[in-house]
Amino acid sequence: MEISEKVQLGRSVGLAVGVLVGLVIAVILLRYMNRDHKVRTEYDEMQKALRNRGYMYAFYTVIIFEALMCLIPSFVRIPAEPIIVHFLPIFFGITVQASYCIWNKAYVGLNTNMQRYLIVAVIASAINFLAFFMAWKNGSLIVDGVLQAPFVNLLCAVMFAVLGIVGLLRKAADNRETEEE
């Protein structure tokens, strides 16, 4: 096995371990964010219907974007690692689903502690911005003209920022509606 193959294997194992650790942390955080400390968030019937529509929009977003990611390399070279190419549709889908649900008041569950949720979102965004910045600073973000995996951290941080902006716009719209009544 050549050194580059060993490095690639090490990166792949590191990525797999990182995903597993992330999933365990996500389960722990879900318990922390819900008032009743359950992993599952509870929604009323209207929220469930709206969330289903959000999932449908997200599904079609991912499908369309992934189809584009299959076609684009036929015409131009995408200077990015495959993980970035395939995470882009996922992040767009999550952003579409969450934005739709936030705007339609179906994102926050009945048992969600919003203050805890916001704390977790801000920390997650900050950690991802920091990871991106560190990769950029040490020169590992772009190698031989190819965008590397740490760019995914920027995608995640931007996603949290967009969702925060949508949440603030929703809150402003709610305040305006309250003033009009």
2 has pLDDT over 70: no
Is 153 in contact with 135 (CB distance < 8 Å)?
A: yes
Q: In the chain, where are the structural domains located? A: 1-33, 43-180
What is the pLDDT, as a whole number, of residue 112? 78
* Tokens 């365990």, located at residue: 24
Structure tokens at 68: 């584009």
CA distance linking residue 61 with residue 64, whole number of Å: 5
- What is the pLDDT confidence band of residue 138, given thresholds at 50, 70 and 90? very high
Q: How far is C-alpha 89 from the geometric centre of its chain's CA atoms?
A: 10
Q: Look up residue 80 and give its DSSP letter.
A: B
Distance CA 177, CA 180 (A): 5
Give the DSSP per-residue string, 134-178: HHHHTT-SEETTEE-TTHHHHHHHHHHHHHHHHHHHHHHHHHHHH
Give the C-alpha separation, 139 to 148, whole Å.
Answer: 10
Percent of the chain at pLDDT exceeding 90: 41
Residue 160 · residue 121 · CB < 8 Å: yes
Contacts of 132 by beta carbon, 8 Å cutoff, 6+ apart: 141, 150, 151, 153, 154, 157
Q: What are phi and psi of 101, to 5 degrees?
A: -70, -40
> What is the model's pTM?
0.81
Does position 7 have pLDDT exceeding 70, yes or no? Answer: no
